[in-house]
Chains A and B, each alone.
Chain A
Amino acid sequence: MPKPYPIPDDLTRPFWDAANRGQLVIQRCQSCRRFQHLPNVMCLSCGGADLAYEPVSGRGTVHSFTIVHEARHKAFREIQPYAVAAVELEEQPGLLLLSNLPGTPLAGIHSGLKVEVTFETVSASQRLPQFQPTGQYNSGHVTAGVER
C-alpha cells in the first residue's frame, strides 16, 4: 500500500515544487530574516508579511527522534517499526523538519547525528524531503526515490 503523500496548497506549493526539483527551500521573512516552518501567511516572529522561500543547505542534526511501533496509517503499519526524527537545520536553532531517516539503521540513530537532505518519491507527482546521515550518499545530489 502506498504511503500517504502531501497535497500542496497555495501557501505550501513552492516548498513541494522545490522538493520535486531536488531542492529544499524554507519560508523566510524578508524583514527580520528569520526562517519559519511550517509555512504561514505572516512571519510569526515580527509579523512581517513579506515572505519568500529561500534555498537552505539541507544540512542539520537530529534534534529528537522516536521509533514508531504502532502506526495509524495502513502503509506505515506495514513497515513499522520506523523512525520519525525532528531535524534541526544548521541555518537557525529550533528550525525543525521531520524525516524518517530512510535507509538508516534504527540502532544507529542518536541525538546530534549529522544528516543531510535527500528526496523520497512518494507518488507519481511528489517527492518528499527526507534526511540521511551525512556522507552516506553524494552530498548535494538528488537521490531519487529512496525506498526502504
Chain B
Amino acid sequence: MTTRAAVVGVGHSRMFRRDEVPLGQLALEACRNAIADAGLKPADIDGVCTNPEQGFEDAGSIDGINIVTPGFVEQALGLRTRWGLRVWASTVLKAFATTVDAVAAGRCNYAVVFRAIYNPKGRYGQGANPAGYAGNGQSGGGGQFTGPYGVTAPANAGLVAQRYFHKYAAKREMLGTFLVNNRKNALLWEWGYWYQHRPEPLTLDQYMNAPDVCWPLGLYDCDLPVHACGAWVITTPERARDLRHRPAYVRGMATPYSQIPNRTWNLEEFEEGGKRVAENLFESARIGPSDIGVANLYDGFSIFVPLWAEALGLAAKGEGLAFLIREESRIGGRTPINTSSGNLGHGRMPGVAQLMESVLQVMGRSGARQAKHADISVATAGLLTEGQAIAFGRDPA
C-alpha cells in the first residue's frame, strides 16, 4: 500500500459574519468537533498544525483573537504533542499537506490541522493601511507598480474575467447561471454562511442587476468575509481502520511554491499555473481527469472555477464555463463541481469548504450532495499561479 495517511474526522465551528465570538473559542470548537467526529479524545492527539496568518493587512496578532496558533490549541485542549508546526500560507491546503507528511513520516500518530479565519467589524481591508499601501499614502515594494493605479484583488480578478470573456466569447449570464446553481448547493451546505444566515435562493436577475465591484465582476462573484474555523484529524491508514468513519485516503498532493508576489493577475499565467498544479497532482496521485468523481474548486472569485476545471482537464480550454452550466457538473450529474458551494457559499475561508467536502464525499457522508461516483475527489485552493490541489480516495492505493 502506497497511501500513507487518511482523514478520519472533520469539524467546523459555528459560522459568524464578524467577530462576535473570540476566534480562539471557534478554533477549539472546530478542533473538538473534528476529534469527536473521529471517535477520538484530545488525549489521543499528538500533532497540531495551522497557517494562522490572515488574508489582509492589519489583522492584528493577538493569539486567540486575531489569529489562532498551534500553541493556543495545544494549551487549551491540553494536548501532549510530539509534532507541531506553524505554516506560512494563505490557504489551509499547505498546512494540511504538511500534516499529512508528518503523519506519514511517523512524527505523530493523530494530528489535528485547523484554519481559523478572523473578520473584524468594519469594511474588510479598509483599515489604516489597505493592502498595497503604506500608511502615508505611498506604495513601496511590489506595491509600487499596482498601488498608484488603484489595483485591488477584485480589480485583478476583473482583468482575468474580462480577458476570459473576450478570448473565449463567454458571457456574464453563464457565470450567473453557474452562481444561481451554486447557491442551491450552498443551501445544502450546513456549515456555510448562506445556509446558516441567509438561506435564500439567488436568481439570474439578482445576479445581473447586482452592483458592479470590478466589472465584469459584480457583488455575487466575490466571496464574503466570515469569522469561523474548520478542522481535520489525520492519521495513518492502519490506525484509520479502527475509527468511527470510513477513512478518506490522501491519494495525492500538489503544493508547489510558485508565488510571484505583487504581480498583476493575468489569464494566460493562470492557465499555465493551473496546468502545472494539475500535472503535479495527477503524477502524485497516479490518476487522470476521468478518474475525478467530484471536485471542489477554489472560488475566491467566481472566475477561478472555470479556470480550475480547465486546468484539471474536466473541460477543454475556454470551455470551463460552458461545462459549469451543464447538468453533468451539478449535484446528481456525472462530475459534480463545488458540491460544498465553495467560498462563494461557505464564506471566505480559502480551502476549508473545499477540503471538508472532498473528505466527506469519499467517506460517503455528503447526504443530499453525495456524488454518484465519489471514488476520487479533488480539492483545489489559491490563485492558479500559486495554487494547491489534493486528491482523496474512497480506497487506499
Contacts and interface: CB of A to CB of B under 8 A. Distances in A.
B266 interface: yes
Q: Which 4 A-B pairs have the closest CB atoms?
A: A66-B158, A6-B144, A7-B140, A64-B163
Contacts of A33: none
Given A12-B144, A38-B142, A84 B166 contact: no
Contacts of B141: 7, 9
A35 interface: no
Contacts of A70: 152, 154, 211, 213-214
Interface stretch (B97-105, B129-137, B191-199, B319-327): B129-137
A66 B214 contact: yes
Interface in B145-201: 145-152, 154-155, 158-163, 166
Nearest to A112: B166
Interface string A79-113: 00110101000000010101110000000000100
Given A4-B137, A7-B134, A9-B141, A65 B150 contact: no
A6 B151 contact: no
B216 interface: yes
Contacts of A71: 150, 152
B139 A5 contact: yes
A67 B137 contact: no
Output the residue of A9, A38, A66 with the most chain B CB within 10 A. A66
A135 interface: no
B280 interface: no
A73 B137 CA distance: 8
**A73, A96, A99 interface centre (most CB from chain B within 10 Å):** A73
Question: Which among B148, B215, B216 has the highest number of chain A CB atoms within 10 Å?
Answer: B148
B327 to A, nearest CB: 31
A32 interface: no
Contacts of A4: 133, 137-139, 147-148
B145 A73 contact: no
B22 interface: no
Nearest to A72: B130
A110 to B, nearest CB: 8
Nearest to B151: A84
A7 B144 CA distance: 6
